[in-house]
Structure 1
């Protein structure tokens, strides 16, 4: 079978490999879709401390069960499944409290285990133990199911920020995550959703798909001023920074209304992780600042339900479909911002 294997920064190879066999507590799937994201770009460029090469990468995975280990129950060949990416241990204090997104023992598909840029892969016992293998609902394609993982992360972020009916929301960043945030905020009843992006071409592409109430190009206008104008000077209830930008986080505080919530959804580069915020604005305006880190198995299940119900459509966000042999081209397309979502179909 073909796989895409990471060896070192800048060195991902398409190779032939033997098909894996599941152990007694594992099962094997035929991969139908593994979608790409900005994390794959970072892995390709810089590697990751949790990846010991060589490693098959890819973590937004959907496929079909083809073989079940002797000790595994509840699954059979032909089942259509989606695999979680972030794997909590299920045993630590955080997991026992229901905080699986911040499990200190978290492992990941495509990092600690062989990932989805392959024709076949094994779903490890770690995933099955935390109920991290999900049935794909009828009517949801494998490609759509592969987008459930990023949508699950978006769902976690909006639950933490308590996005609810009547809110005004700003999403900063018009990539796939930003597009999902716009659609989910609408599904949760937001009264208005504004999309902010520096890159005009990327903004136009995203806005044409998800239709924000206003599309603001930060390279052409002062985004803070535009948000203030749109809200008669009040600011918005929620700002979600779906971009790895310290400046975006600093400006977000200037957009948020009194008692507003500020979600730092996108992490910052590890060599430049600090920002400057006016603490008095947080203090006197009673602003809440929240982090958001990944998703839990339960978030993945709810994301599939949102896709199946039509509450959050994702099929049209998949702008490119490529074979496994073109993984490097897919990563390059994501890096250049020329796509919303790129999916690999082995």
Structure 2
């Protein structure tokens, strides 16, 4: 198969031809029809993830067609249109038995724990637990854009933040994750404040439902600006970028008993950010993480897409080929693109 491979961290990836994967007894092989280019892939390429073993094929936001099925798989057939959470569960540990596949004790992640979807084919483990059937009306590029960004945002807003109609939700960072969160929070009736340093991204945030925007490059104090807009602070606030500054601002702009949800990864030098703990204690704030979403929860999100309440296709930016994915991957830290870049040609 044709694939993007890097043999050293931070070294230029290359297009190579590798052996096609074969399914494990409990797994399937998926023919990749589309795969998103995500900042998490950049973190992996930089060497920030200890699970990655070299040489490596990145990619974890994928949609495609089942190409081969392991002998123990009962729910899937060759030709099925599928996607998969970026965190897969084993189905047999205590967390999985409790329904928390996204924090499985034996979790796997395509593009991290094994070769990923910047390739013509990718192997998926524990298919009966982790695969998600795609509606015929949902295109592969849109399905891939759900990836880790849209589903993580859905869980962050709906399941973790429990945002509801009339509440104020602040979203710090208007990349793919943040824009997804804005759309989802707006769909459940919340009032959204978008925060970013890019006027173009803030404009798109407004088009997707943000009722107010804060340009962090133009205000002296981001948290105070959000508190002023929301007349007391956000009920739910999300760091959708993953940076010490956005994390600090997200916690600081909460009203009493508000919830901060950390979506953006904070790795390497950013892994231990400063937190305004005195405010956390005095105002009884909650600090939550959001790490993917279980396959069985996709149904609620897909229903909202089918009925038009969510329109993730609006978040799809560039559609590129596998060769161009190398430049897209290695420049993810420059924050240049608007929307989700998706590889659709292999």
Give the C-alpha shift of residue 140 in structure 1. 0.5
Following superposition of structure 1 onto structure 2, how do residues 187-206 of structure 1 map, counting pairs within 5 Å? 187-190=187-190, 192-204=191-203, 206=204
Give the C-alpha shift of residue 19 in structure 1. 2.8
Following superposition of structure 1 onto structure 2, how do residues 120-159 of structure 1 map, counting pairs within 5 Å? 120-124=121-125, 126=126, 128-129=127-128, 131-149=129-147, 150-158=149-157, 159=159
Task: Say if 2:237 is the partner of 1:236.
Answer: no
Which residue does 1:8 correspond to in 2? 8
Task: Say if 2:255 is the partner of 1:257.
Answer: yes
Aligned-residue Cα RMSD (Å) equals 2.1
Which residue does 1:266 correspond to in 2? 264
Distance 1:69 1:209, change over 3 A: same
Give the C-alpha shift of residue 331 in structure 1. 1.5
Give the C-alpha shift of residue 286 in structure 1. 2.5
Distance in structure 2 (CA, Å) of the matches to 1:162 and 1:25: 34
Following superposition of structure 1 onto structure 2, how do residues 283-298 of structure 1 map, counting pairs within 5 Å? 283-298=281-296
Which residue does 1:213 correspond to in 2? 211
**Residue 240 of structure 1 contacts residue 264 of structure 1 at CA under 8 Å; is this kept in 2?**
yes
Q: Report how many residues are paired.
A: 340
Give structure 2 stretches of 5+ with no counterpart. none
Q: Secondary structure of the residue that 1:42 maps to in structure 2?
A: helix
- String of CA shifts for 1:271-319, please: whole Å, max 9, x gaps: 3433344434223322222222222222344433333332221112111
Q: Secondary structure of the residue that 2:179 maps to in structure 1?
A: helix
**Residue 35 of structure 1 contacts residue 343 of structure 1 at CA under 8 Å; is this kept in 2?**
yes
Q: Secondary structure of the residue that 2:268 maps to in structure 1?
A: coil
Which residue does 1:111 correspond to in 2? 112
Give structure 1 stretches of 5+ with no counterpart. none
Give the C-alpha shift of residue 7 in structure 1. 1.5
Q: Secondary structure of the residue that 1:62 maps to in structure 2?
A: strand
- String of CA shifts for 1:314-346, please: whole Å, max 9, x gaps: 112111011112221221453332222110112
Distance in structure 1 (CA, Å) of the matches to 2:324 and 2:236: 38
Q: Secondary structure of the residue that 1:299 maps to in structure 2?
A: helix
Q: Secondary structure of the residue that 1:20 maps to in structure 2?
A: coil
